[in-house]
Amino acid sequence: MKQDHVTKSQIDVGGIDFQWDTEKGIFSYSGGEAVLFWITSAMKVFFDTIEEVSGEEAAEVVLEAAGFRQGLVVSDYFKQIKLTIEQVAEVLPITYASAGWGQITVSRLCEEEQLATIQIKNSWEYRMNVEQGKTESGCFIPGHFAGILSGLFDRHMAYRIIKSEIKGDEACEFEFFPAEHSMDQNIHTLARRKEAEEIQKLETVVEERTKELNELVKEISSPIIPVLEDIVVVPLLGKYDEARSQELIEKTLTNLPKHKAQYLVLDLTGLDAEVSEITVDFIGKLSAGASLIGTETILVGISPEMGIAIASSDSNLSSFNCFRSLQHGILFALSQQGRQII
């Protein structure tokens, strides 16, 4: 170990250079600036926080992708110092062991087939996972080696876990093989899936709320009002399409006998200003249906636009008694029964 005063020190471990400059607060590992963390406390808190913020599924993808990207950086380093695949297989164990990653064995590294098998025992991720109470192997380290191999083989590499130390095996063992897409894309895939899930949730909520609103509209739209004995008023409100028209026809014709209605007063005052053929046709059907069950229809509140629409249609609404106001329509119905309001 070399020392310069007490602020600088240097040590060589298996050919890997470590340097400290405590005056500047800098630690260097193999010529590059590095930092040190306690595995089972500081790093555990770091990983726990990622899982807490992102959720376990998202955290797994994020950590795997982070390990993968770091592996690409390491592969660039190996390329820069012009190491062959065989040389990488030789230096990888001591390089990572000296950095505290664990005991690594590269049992297979085939450039021609682009396949690899790596064992790691007592890794920092395994030790941290034990502290976390995990029952499955972590994905950061295998993702990291997949990144190294992707860079060295110049193609996307994936992995499968063959043995797991946390499940009782002597060491973790990972097999690496060519893949169609990069692990980086897993982040985007997860994001799109989460986005699709959120959209589906929103669509479900909107559908449920729409159904509730439609039911509410059915309840409050065009209520059947028994204003006097044998006289029922139904105000028509807004715009009617085929579905809404059919619902009102069924609702009205079902309830008229319950009220023993002799007169059905349809108040057209609240109709949409632009009267469609569907609306005129539906009023005709409702009036005809009421007539079939013995109820006479009276139309009130006909606007000039409605009058024009009726006149230009093939309907026979002009055959019904029509009045300008609801009051006049009710008075007419009473007079037909020989009654009057005193």
Class of domain 222-336: alpha beta
CATH number, domain 39-191: 3.30.1380.20
CB 231 within 8 A of CB 333: yes
CB 57 within 8 A of CB 187: no
Q: What does the alpha-carbon distance between residue 36 and residue 27 come to, in Å, rounded to a whole number?
A: 8
List % helix, strand, coil for the chain (3-state, nearest 5): 50, 20, 30
Question: Rounded to the nearest 5°, which phi and psi values hold at 257?
Answer: -65, -30
Map residue 297 onto helix, strand or coil.
strand
Q: How buried is residue 6: exposed, middle or buried, by Cβ count under 10 Å (0-12/13-18/19+)? A: exposed
Rounded to two decimals, the pTM is 0.58
Block residue for tokens 């664990």 = 102
What is the full per-residue pLDDT of the chain (342 aa) written as tens digits?
A: 555 555 788 898 878 888 998 888 999 988 889 888 899 899 999 999 988 888 888 888 889 999 999 999 999 999 999 999 999 999 999 999 999 999 999 999 999 999 999 999 999 999 999 999 999 999 999 999 999 999 999 999 999 999 999 999 999 999 999 998 887 776 666 667 666 667 777 778 888 887 777 766 665 566 888 888 899 999 988 888 888 888 889 989 998 999 899 999 999 888 877 777 888 888 889 999 999 999 999 999 888 887 887 777 777 777 788 888 899 999 998 998 887 766
- DSSP state at residue 312: T
Structure tokens given for 158 = 């994936």
The ranges assigned to domains in the chain are 1-36, 39-191, 222-336
CA atoms within 13 A of residue 145's CA, in its CB half-sphere: 30
Which sign, positive or negative, has the C-alpha torsion 134, 140, 145, 149? positive
